[in-house]
Amino acid sequence: MVANNQTAGAEKKVQTTSLLDQVMEQTRFKPENDDYSIAQRGIAEFISEMLKSDSKDTVVNKTLIDEMIVRLDEKISHQVDEILHNEKFQEMESAWRGLKLLVDRTDFRENIKIEVLNVSKEELLDDFEYATDITQSGLYKHVYSANYGQFGGEPVAAIVGNYMFTPSAPDMKLLQYVSSVGAISHAPFISAAGPEFFGLDSYASLSEIKEIKDIFEGPRYAKWRSLRESEDSKYLALTMPRFLSRLPYDPVENPVRTFNYYESIDGKHDNYLWSNVAFLMASKVTDSFAKYRWCPNIIGPQSGGAVDDLPLHLFESFGHLQAKIPTEVLITDRKEFELADEGFIPLTMRKGSDNAAFFSANSVQKPKKFPNTEEGKAAETNYKLGTQLPYMFIVNRLAHYLKVLQREQIGSWKERQDLEREL
C-alpha cells in the first residue's frame, strides 16, 4: 500500500513538471537567483521557436540551434542600433569617449590634472544670468576662487567645454561670460563651433562654401562680430569639425564580446559616433606641457600639433573599398587659412592616412589694424601674436607663476638679484 502511494506521488510529480522546468533544472540558474526569470523567458522563447516547425522530420541539432542564434543576434543588433543611433545617447557616448581619449593621451606623471565639471550649456548660462556679476558665478568660483585666487591653490591652465556653439544670441552671451572668466583666470576656454555656425546641417558640406568670410557679414552674425572685437575674446577658442571617436561595431574590426553584433550604418553620416575636437586640442596642450613644461607646442605636424591613430572605417561601395575619414570633411590649405582668419581652429586631415593636424590655433579675437608705418606694423604683428593660443599659453603660464610667487614672498625683503634668481 505504501509502495503504491509512493509510485503515484512520483507519477504526479513527473506530470506536473513541465518541459521548461526540466530544462531549467539542467542549467546553472536557480529559482532564488535574480536572473532566473530572464533565463526562463529566454528558454521558453527558444522552445516555442522549436515547436513552430511544421515538419515532423525537423531534427534539433547544432545547425538548427546556430541558425536560431544568428536570427537572435540580428534581432538584438537592430534593437541596439536604435539605441546607439539615438541623438541623446550619441551625445552621452560622445562625451565619455572624448573624455576617455583625453585621459588616455595625458601623462599624469608630469604634474597634470584633469577635473570634470558636469554642467550643460543651458545650466552654465543660467548660472551666469542669475549671478549678480561674473565673480558670483559658479564657474568663476570653481576656476578662480578655488584655485588661482586661493593661497596654496593650483592655477587652471585651460577650460575645455564639450559644447557645440551656434551664432544664436544665448550662445553669444555665454561665450562672452566664459571669456571674462578665462581672462580673469588667465585660462582660455576651448570648445567647438557646430555646423550651424556656418549655416550647414553637417560639416560634410563645408567644401561647398566658396568664401568663409562672406558668411559672417550678414546681420545674423552681428553679435559674433562684436564678440570678436572684445578684449576678452582672446581667451576663447572654437575648434571644428568633429572627429570619429570609435569605429562602427563589427565582428572582425570592432567586435562585441557578448554577442555577434554588426552595427548598421546604412551610409548615414550621423549614424557614426562623432566627438568634440576640443578634446583633441586639449590632448595637445597636455602633451606639450608633459614634454616641455610649456603649452605652445600645439600646432604643426612636426611641432606638436599632430593627432595620430584616429579611427578609419573601411567599407565596400559599388564593389570598391572606401574609407570614411575621421574628421567629417577634408579641409584644403586655403579653407584652413580662411577658417583660422575668422577665429576658428580647424583640424586638418592628412589625405590617405589615419592622422590629422592643427596648423593654427587662433583665438576668437579679431586682430586689429594699425597705421602703415614701421611702428604700426610692429604693433600689428605683436597684437596678432597675442590672439594666438601658443603665445597666450606662454603669457598665462608666466602670469600664474608671478601670482603664486608674489603671494609666497609677501612681507619679505628682496634685492633685485634675489628676484631675478627667483624668476
Q: Which helix (H) or strand (E) holds 224?
A: helix 222-228
Element (H, E) at 306: strand 306-307
Q: What angle do CA 342, 348, 354 make, to 5 degrees?
A: 165
The helix (H) or strand (E) run that includes residue 335 is: helix 333-341
Q: Are residues 208 and 352 in the same domain?
A: yes
Answer whether residue 288 is part of any domain.
yes
- All three cell numbers of 118, joined, read 558636469
Give a yes or no: residue 5 inside a domain.
Answer: no
Same domain, residue pair 96 and 80: no
421 occurs within a structural domain: no
- Rounded-to-integer distance, Cα 365 and Cα 234, Å: 5
If asked whether residues 266 and 369 sit together in one domain, one would say yes
For residue 336, give the DSSP letter.
Answer: H
The one-digit pLDDT tens for each residue of the chain (423 residues) are 445 555 555 454 445 567 777 777 777 778 877 778 887 887 787 777 776 666 565 666 677 777 777 888 888 899 999 999 999 999 999 999 999 999 999 999 999 999 999 999 999 999 999 999 999 999 999 999 988 888 888 899 999 999 999 999 999 999 999 999 999 999 999 999 999 999 999 999 999 999 999 999 989 999 999 999 999 999 999 999 999 999 999 998 899 988 889 999 988 999 999 999 999 999 999 999 999 999 999 999 999 999 999 999 988 777 778 889 999 999 999 999 999 999 999 999 999 899 999 999 999 999 988 888 888 888 988 989 999 999 999 999 999 888 888 887 777 777 777 766 766
- Ramachandran category for residue 328: left, alpha or beta (phi over 0 → left; psi -120 to 50 → alpha): left
Task: Flag whether 23 is in a domain.
Answer: no
Per-residue pLDDT tens over the stretch 393-415: 999 999 988 888 888 777 777 77
Distance in angstroms (rounded) separating the CA atoms of residues 140 and 273: 32
- Same domain (yes/no): 68, 109: no
The helix/strand/coil state of 347 is strand
On the CB side of 230, CA atoms within 13 Å amount to 20
Is residue 416, in this structure, part of any structural domain at all? Answer: no
Return the exposure string of 371-404: e unless at least 16 CB atoms fall within 10 Å of the residue's CB, then b. eeeeeeeeebeeebeebbbbbbbeebbeebeeeb
Reduced to 3 states (helix: H, G, I; strand: E, B; else coil), residue 238 is: strand
297-351: per-residue pLDDT in tens?
Answer: 999 999 999 999 999 998 877 777 888 999 999 999 999 999 999 999 999 999 9
Adjacent-strand bridge partners of 243: 275
Could you give the angle at the alpha carbon of 96 between the alpha carbons of 91 and 99, nearest 5°?
125
Asked whether the beta carbons of 347 and 336 are under 8 A apart, the reply is no
- Are both 115 and 218 inside the same structural domain? yes
Parent domain of 80: 32-52+60-84
Distance, in Å, from the CA atom of 221 to the CA atom of 224, rounded to the nearest integer, reads 5
Domain identity same for 66 and 120: no
Instruction: Report pLDDT for 37.
Output: 84
Instruction: Examine the domain organization and report whether 102 and 75 are in the same domain.
Output: no
Rounded Cα gap, residues 184 and 145, in angstroms: 10
The three cell numbers locating residue 199: 549655416
Q: Is residue 160 part of a domain?
A: yes
